[in-house]
Amino acid sequence: MEAKVKNNMDKFVGYLRKISIRRRLFYAFMILCVIPISTVISISAAVEFLYYNDNLRSNYDNFAYESDIRVNDMFEQMELKFKYLKENNDILTDIYLYATSPIYQTEEVSNRIENTIASIVSNQEEIDYAAILLEDGTSFLYTKTLINEKEIRNGLEDDLKWHYLDYGKQPALCRTEMVEVDYTSGLRARYVVLINLDAVESVLNNAVGSAKQKIAVTDTQGRAVAGSQFENPELFYEVTVPILDTGLKIKNTFIQTKYDLLGLITTIVIFLFVVIGAGGTSYLVNESIKIPLNRLLGRMEQIKEGDIFIEPEEEADINSQDENEILNRVFTSMLNKLNEVLEETYTTNINETQLRTRIKELELVALQQRINPHFLYNLLDNVFWIAQMKDYEEIGEMVSALGEFFKTSVSEKGAFVSISTEIENVKSYVCLQKIMHKNQFDVLWNIDSGIVHYKTVKLILQPIIENCIAHGFEGIEGGGIIHITGKKEENTIVFQIKDNGSGMEKDACDRIMLAMNSSILGVGDSIGMRNVNQRIKIYFGEPYGISIKSKINEGTTVSLCIPVKE
C-alpha cells in the first residue's frame, strides 16, 4: 500500500515538473487561496441568509438575558433593603415603646427611628421615600423630595406588595407590607418604600444592549410602570420575564431589521485584499525564483554552445539563503575553478615536482580535516550537557570561544598563519576546555614577542594541548598546570608544552613517537599528534616535528620545532 502511494506521488510530482514554475505557483495560489476563501464566503453568506431570523432571535434572547439580570439585581437589592428595614430590631423596639408608653412619645425617639430608616435606605439611589405608618396615624419618614403623605396613604393597596402608585404629579413604584410589631398586643405598622421611576428608567436604559431593543417594567395589569416598549407594527420579537417576588415583569421588545449586507460586503472587500496581496506575493516569489534560474540557464547555454571561458558574474550576496542563488554561486565557483584548471593546463607544463607538491597539499587537507570533527563532536556534546546543568552565560562564553577557534581553521585561507594567530586560536581552545573541565587546570604562557610575526602551519599546538588535558590530567580533580613556551633558537622556532600530569613510562613514550612517524595508523594511536607531526614534516622537511619526554608522576614535555618562516 505504502509503495503504491509513493509511486502515485512520484507520478504526480513528475507531471508537475512538466509544467513551468509560473503555472505551478498560479495553480497553488488558486487551490490554496482563492477557491477555499471563495467557498467559505459563499457558504457563510448562504447560511447567514437562511438562518438570519433564527440568529436574530438568538441574539435578542442574549440581549434580553443580560438586561434581565441587571434589572432583577436592582429589584433584589431594593427587596433586601426593605427586608432589613422591617426586621430591624432597633426600629421595632422603638416603635413598640413609642406606641405603648407615653413617656417614649418624644421627638428624640421619633428622630431616632427616622435616622435609622435613613441609614438603611439612603444609599439606595432608586429609593425616594421610606415610611413606617402606624394605625393611629403616626408616621416615621425618610424622603428625598416633598411628598403628600395623605395621597400616599389613600393610594396604598393592602393585597399587593409591589404596585404602581399614581399620586398626583409624582407616580412611583411602591413596595408596601403590613408588619406585626408586637404579637401579644396586636400592634401593627405599615412599611412603605417608594421607588423613583426616573432612576429605574435610567437602569433600564443602561441595560439596553441594542438600538433595536426597548425595556419596560410592567405591573400586574400589564401597564408599563417604567421604561418603554415597541408597539405593532414595529414589534418583531418579545421576551417577558417575571421579577422574582414582586409580581412585576421585565418586558423586552425588539423590532425587525433588514438583512445587513455590511458584513458580507466587508468580507468580500477583505477577500479582495487577501487575493491581491497573495497574488502579488506569488508574483514576487515567482520572479525571485525565475530570475536567478534564467541567469543560470543562460550561462549553461553559453557553455553548451562551446563558450567555456565566459565572463564571471558580479559579486553575489554571500549571505543569501535563496537556493537558486546558492546554486548560482556554486556553479560560478565550479566554473571559475574549471577555467583556472583549463588555463593552467593550457599554459603550464606540470612537472613531476609540482605534481608531488599538489599531492602533498591534498594530503594536508585530508589530514587537517580529520582534526576538526573529532574536537567538534566532543565539544558539542559538552555544550549540550552544560546547557542542561549550568547557567546560560557559560554557554555563551563557550560559543564565543568556539567561534574564535574556528575562525583560524575555517576562515583563514591557505595552510599558513602567523604565530600570533595560532596562539590566539589556542587560547580560545583553552578557554573552552577550562569551561568543559570546570577549571581543572590552568595554563601559563611564555611566548617570545619576537617570534609572533613569523609563519607556522595552522593548528599545530591545539592537538598537543588536547592530549595534555585528556591523558595527562585524567583522574586528577584539580591543580593541573600547562606551561607553554615559544622562543627562537638560531633559525628554528621551538615550542614546549609541559604539564604536571600523571606522565608515562619510557616504553609508552617510545610507542607514541614510533606511531607519529609511521605511515600506517594503528588502533589507539593519537590521531591529532600524528597529523601535526606529519604536516610539519611535509611542509618543512624531516628535521622538524615533535619530540616527547615524560616521567611517571612528574608530567610530560612535548617539544615542537619548525623553521623560521617570514
Burial of 343 (0-12, 13-18, 19+ CB in 10 A): exposed
Instruction: Kindly indicate the confidence band of residue 183, based on its pLDDT and cuts at 50, 70 and 90.
Output: confident
- The 3-state DSSP class for residue 497 equals strand
Report if residue 174 sits inside a domain.
Answer: yes
Range from 141-145, 318-322, 508-512 carrying the lowest mean pLDDT: 318-322
Q: Which residues pair with 549 in a beta bridge?
A: 557
When pLDDT is averaged across residues 528-556 and rounded to a whole number, the result is: 87
Counting residues of the chain whose pLDDT is more than 70, the rounded percentage is: 72
| Same domain assignment for residues 254 and 274 | no
Q: Return the exposure string of 171-183: e unless at least 16 CB atoms fall within 10 Å of the residue's CB, then b.
A: ebbbbbbebebee
Question: 110 is written with which cell numbers?
Answer: 421619633
Question: pLDDT tens for residues 265-295?
Answer: 777 777 777 778 777 777 776 666 666 667 7
| Statement: residue 97 has pLDDT above 70 | yes
Question: pLDDT tens for residues 237-270?
Answer: 888 888 887 888 888 888 876 655 666 677 777 7
In this prediction, residue 408 carries a pLDDT of: 55
Report if residue 289 sits inside a domain.
Answer: yes
In this prediction, residue 362 carries a pLDDT of: 45
| Same domain assignment for residues 332 and 372 | no
C-alpha to C-alpha distances, 419 to 22, 265, 370, 416, 547, nearest whole angstrom: 55, 74, 22, 9, 20
Question: pLDDT tens for residues 366-416?
Answer: 455 544 555 665 665 566 566 656 666 666 566 666 666 665 555 555 678
Q: Which of 130, 143, 138, 149 is nearest to 98 (CA)?
A: 138
In this prediction, residue 370 carries a pLDDT of: 47
| Statement: residue 444 has pLDDT above 90 | yes
Report if residue 73 sits inside a domain.
Answer: yes
Contact 552, 453 (CB under 8 A): no
| Statement: residue 312 has pLDDT above 60 | no
Last residue of a domain, one of 202, 233, 260: 260
| Same domain assignment for residues 249 and 301 | no
Report if residue 20 sits inside a domain.
Answer: no
Instruction: Kindly indicate the confidence band of residue 364, based on its pLDDT and cuts at 50, 70 and 90.
Output: low
CATH code, domain carrying 519? 3.30.565.10
- pLDDT winner (highest mean) among 13-27, 61-75, 159-173, 359-373: 61-75
Last residue of a domain, one of 324, 348, 372: 348
| Same domain assignment for residues 99 and 214 | yes
Signed CA dihedral, 217, 219, 223, 225: sign only: negative
Q: Which of 159, 157, 133 is nearest to 147 (CA)?
A: 133
**Average model confidence (pLDDT) across the chain:** 78
Contact 61, 209 (CB under 8 A): no
| Same domain assignment for residues 222 and 273 | no
| Same domain assignment for residues 192 and 321 | no
> What is the rounded (10 degree) CA torsion for 556, 498, 395, 423?
-140
When pLDDT is averaged across residues 525-545 and rounded to a whole number, the result is: 83
Question: 545 is written with which cell numbers?
Answer: 616535528
Phi, psi of 254 (to 5 degrees): -130, 150
Q: Which of 192, 178, 181, 193 is nearest to 94 (CA)?
A: 181
| Same domain assignment for residues 378 and 456 | yes
| Same domain assignment for residues 276 and 416 | no
Range from 37-46, 114-123, 267-276, 336-345 carrying the lowest mean pLDDT: 336-345
| Same domain assignment for residues 94 and 238 | yes
Contact 363, 538 (CB under 8 A): yes
Report if residue 37 sits inside a domain.
Answer: no
Domain that holds residue 275: 262-348
Residue 118 CA to residue 348 CA, distance in Å, equals 117
| Residue where the block lists cell 595534555 | 468
In this prediction, residue 263 carries a pLDDT of: 63
User: What's the total number of domains in the chain?
Assistant: 3
| Same domain assignment for residues 455 and 553 | yes
In this prediction, residue 6 carries a pLDDT of: 72
Range from 43-47, 223-227, 342-346 carrying the lowest mean pLDDT: 342-346
Burial of 486 (0-12, 13-18, 19+ CB in 10 A): buried
| Statement: residue 350 has pLDDT above 90 | no
| Statement: residue 493 has pLDDT above 90 | yes
Question: pLDDT tens for residues 421-434?
Answer: 899 988 888 888 88
Residue 86 CA to residue 79 CA, distance in Å, equals 11
| Same domain assignment for residues 289 and 432 | no
In this prediction, residue 563 carries a pLDDT of: 94
| Same domain assignment for residues 424 and 335 | no
When pLDDT is averaged across residues 75-104 and rounded to a whole number, the result is: 89
Instruction: Kindly indicate the confidence band of residue 304, based on its pLDDT and cuts at 50, 70 and 90.
Output: low
Helix (H) or strand (E) holding 93: helix 89-100
Q: Which residues pair with 441 in a beta bridge?
A: 480
Classify strands 416-418 and 455-457 as parallel, antiparallel or unpaired. antiparallel
Residues in CB range of 163: below 8 A, 6 or more apart? 157, 173, 174, 176, 219, 220, 247
Report if residue 374 sits inside a domain.
Answer: yes
In this prediction, residue 523 carries a pLDDT of: 44
Q: How many CB atoms lie within 10 A of CB 482?
A: 23
Last residue of a domain, one of 229, 244, 260: 260
In this prediction, residue 16 carries a pLDDT of: 64
In this prediction, residue 345 carries a pLDDT of: 66
In this prediction, residue 191 carries a pLDDT of: 92
Residues in CB range of 138: below 8 A, 6 or more apart? 98, 99
Report if residue 442 sits inside a domain.
Answer: yes
Report if residue 205 sits inside a domain.
Answer: yes
State the pTM of this model: 0.40
Q: How many CB atoms lie within 10 A of CB 315?
A: 8
Phi-psi region of 358 (alpha: psi -120 to 50; beta: other; left: phi over 0): alpha
Determine the length of the chain. Answer: 566
C-alpha to C-alpha distances, 39 to 31, 261, 263, 314, 327, nearest whole angstrom: 11, 18, 16, 48, 40
When pLDDT is averaged across residues 134-152 and rounded to a whole number, the result is: 81
C-alpha to C-alpha distances, 318 to 297, 301, 314, 330, 442, nearest whole angstrom: 20, 24, 12, 11, 40
Instruction: Kindly indicate the confidence band of residue 330, based on its pLDDT and cuts at 50, 70 and 90.
Output: confident
